[in-house]
Each structure stands twice: as structure tokens, then as C-alpha cells.
């Protein structure tokens, strides 16, 4: 049940990010659900690999500044998600960086308020 709630919160984050940022567009809430599913699968499949590659390529600095590396990886995975599905459009890497930051912020706030209520 928690996985479904987390997926819904990620979809909500995608949808709100598309409302806030003009460089990111989602085809309705159903498109946000599809984009969230694709993003989650891609992040699980290649996110860790990109994190390790960037960490090694920066001679360990990427591991020290893991939050910045994770932000960059999420932006790259967001661009790949936009390329894979037609439910999501991201104009540039700059918008992807802003979108990754916005999705993370909205998702973190939503999880902080909703997940404790769901476990009651």
C-alpha cells in the first residue's frame, strides 16, 4: 500500500511541478501517473549507475557532495523520461534541473504530511 501512496505522491509532484514551471509539461494527471511510473523505473534501473559514474568521474567529489550528484542524476533521468514517454515534455536540461528540485521538494513535503496519516 505504501508503494502505491508513494507513486501517487510522485505523480502529484510531477503534476504540480508542471503547473509551477513553464518549461515542463504533463498531459493531465493521467500523464503525470505514467511519467511518475516511468521515472521511478528508470531511476531504479539506471539512477544508481549514473550516480556511481558521476562520483568516479569527479574523483570522489560527487560522493562527498552526494545531494548535488543525486539532484543532477534526477535531472538526467527526468530528461530520459521525457524522451521515453510522450506524457512528459521537458524543454532543456536547465528546466530538468529546476523540475528535479521542485519534484523533490514537493515529494518530500507530501511524504512528510501524508505517509504518517496513511500508516495510522
The 10s digit of each residue's pLDDT in 29-62 is 999 999 999 999 999 999 999 999 999 999 999 9
Q: What is the rounded CA–CA span in Å between residue 72 and residue 82?
A: 15
Return the bridge partners of 90, or none.
24
Distance CA 3, CA 21 (A): 26
State yes or no: pLDDT of 120 exceeds 70: no
Is pLDDT of 88 > 80?
Answer: yes
Alpha-carbon distance 69 to 25, whole Å? 24
Q: What is the mean pLDDT of residues 103-108?
A: 93
Task: Return left, alpha or beta for 28; rule: phi > 0 is left, psi -120 to 50 is alpha, else beta.
Answer: left
Q: pLDDT tens digits for 3-23?
A: 898 899 999 999 999 999 999
Amino acid at each position: 500500500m505504501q508503494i502505491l501512496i508513494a507513486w501517487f505522491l510522485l505523480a502529484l509532484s510531477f503534476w504540480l511541478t508542471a503547473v509551477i514551471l513553464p518549461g515542463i509539461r504533463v498531459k493531465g494527471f493521467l500523464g503525470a501517473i505514467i511519467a511518475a511510473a516511468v521515472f521511478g523505473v528508470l531511476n531504479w534501473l539506471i539512477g544508481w549507475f549514473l550516480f556511481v559514474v558521476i562520483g568516479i568521474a569527479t574523483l570522489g567529489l560527487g560522493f562527498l557532495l552526494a545531494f548535488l550528484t543525486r539532484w543532477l542524476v534526477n535531472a538526467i533521468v527526468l530528461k530520459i523520461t521525457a524522451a521515453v514517454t510522450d506524457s512528459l515534455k521537458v524543454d532543456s536540461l536547465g528546466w530538468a534541473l529546476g523540475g528535479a528540485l521542485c519534484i523533490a521538494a514537493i515529494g518530500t513535503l507530501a511524504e512528510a504530511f501524508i505517509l504518517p496519516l496513511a500508516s495510522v
